[in-house]
C-alpha cells in the first residue's frame, strides 16, 4: 500500500478519534462519570498514537495544523447538524479561514509531500 496513503490515513483516523474524544468531554461531567471519561481518554490516546504515524513523513507543524484545524471544523459541523448549535457569521468566517488554510497547506506548501 502507498506510504503517502497510509500517512494521510493515519492522520484522518487521528482527526476522527480527536473529534469523538472532544464530543465525549461534556459527557464526562468534569471527569466524575467513569465510563464516558474512560472512552474519552481512549479516543484521545488513539488520536495521539495515530499522529505518531503521520509525523513520520509530514513535519509535525503541518500535521498539527491539519489535525487541529480539521478537528475544529468537524466539531463545529457535528454540533450544528447533530446538536442544533448554530454559528454566527464571524464563527462561519473563521471556520472558512481554517478550511482555506488547510487547502493552502495541502495544495501549495512544499513542506507537504505530494
Residue pLDDT, tens place only, 31-57: 999 999 999 999 999 999 999 999 998
The C-alpha cell at 102 is 488547510
* Residue 113 falls inside a structural domain: no
| Residue carrying C-alpha cell 465525549 | 24
Domain span at residue 26 reads 3-108
Number of domains in the chain: 1
For residue 95, tell me if it sits in a domain: yes
Q: Are 8 and 57 in contact (CB under 8 A)?
A: no
Question: In sequence order, what are the residues at sequence separation of 6 or more whose Cβ sits closer than 8 angstroms to the Cβ of residue 42?
Answer: 21
Backbone phi and psi for residue 64, each to the nearest 5 degrees, phi listed first: -65, -40
Q: Looking at residues 22-26, what average pLDDT do you find? A: 95
For residue 68, give the C-alpha cell.
Answer: 487541529
pTM for the whole structure: 0.87
pLDDT of residue 111: 74
Asked whether residue 66 is assigned to any structural domain, the reply reads yes
Would residue 41 count as lying in a domain? yes
Specify the DSSP class assigned to residue 1: -
The pLDDT value recorded for residue 72 is 94
In a domain, 7, yes or no: yes
Residue 94 resides in a domain: yes
Q: How many CB atoms lie within 10 A of CB 77?
A: 13
Average pLDDT over the chain reads 92
Confidence of residue 113 (pLDDT cuts 50, 70, 90): low
pLDDT of the residue at 107: 83
pLDDT of residue 108: 85
In a domain, 114, yes or no: no
Amino acid at each position: 500500500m502507498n506510504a503517502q496513503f497510509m500517512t494521510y490515513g493515519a492522520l484522518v483516523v487521528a482527526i476522527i478519534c480527536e473529534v469523538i474524544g472532544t464530543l465525549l468531554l461534556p459527557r464526562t461531567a468534569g471527569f466524575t462519570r467513569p465510563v464516558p471519561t474512560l472512552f474519552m481518554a481512549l479516543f484521545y490516546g488513539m488520536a495521539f498514537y495515530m499522529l505518531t504515524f503521520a509525523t513520520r513523513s509530514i513535519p509535525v507543524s503541518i500535521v498539527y495544523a491539519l489535525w487541529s484545524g480539521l478537528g475544529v471544523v468537524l466539531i463545529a459541523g457535528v454540533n450544528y447538524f447533530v446538536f442544533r448549535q448554530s454559528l454566527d457569521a464571524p464563527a462561519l468566517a473563521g471556520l472558512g479561514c481554517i478550511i482555506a488554510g488547510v487547502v493552502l497547506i495541502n495544495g501549495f506548501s512544499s513542506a507537504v509531500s505530494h
